[in-house]
Structure 1
Amino acid sequence: MRNKGIIAKEIVELSEIRSAYNHYLGSHRGLTEVENTTQVQHNKKIITAALRVLYVELEQSGKAVSALKAQPAIKTVEYSALERNAILHFNRDKRFTITE
């Protein structure tokens, strides 16, 4: 039996590939290039079948991996006194302007 973490990693990778295939199929290029579109559709079917197998394997191995439910970590940037001072002086200096 494989590790749940490895199965979850494979699920994420295959989901990203399937997402890229969906993006290609929805693009103008996907509508005009028939041979590539046919190949991508075939590959997408194979990946979808593999994903189904992986999800079944994950369910049979026990409860779902907590990494799939984990919330993204929010990192706050803490500036040092020197960095804060440099930012304040830069913002106060009228020679530098932010243009878009």
Structure 2
Amino acid sequence: MLNIEIKRNKLPILNEKKFVTTKKIAIDVGLEAIIQINFIDKNLVNLIENLAIDILLTNISKDPYNSFSLSLDKLNKEINKLSRDYNLSELNIFV
């Protein structure tokens, strides 16, 4: 059975005029993902953070280790779509 728990590690902070957020997602027992995003636009950080969480949770199957790379590929495609409308050259994401 899939057990999902999402916690915010720390309150978002401003760092050198960039918004930084970190989330820790407990996908299953003994399996966690950490997402950290750093960008100058708080609204885009929130959008990308929610997008990353949604993609990770909807694409992790019964075999999470094999489906993780698929999730990262889908996240990359969505960020590429966003980059057509926004300048994301300063975007940093850690998953």
Give your verdict on TM over 0.5: no
Q: Does 1 or 2 have the higher relative contact order (CA < 8 Å, sep 6+)? A: 1
Larger radius of gyration: 1
- In terms of fraction of residues, the more helix-rich structure is 1
TM-score of the superposed pair, with normalisation by structure 2:
0.31
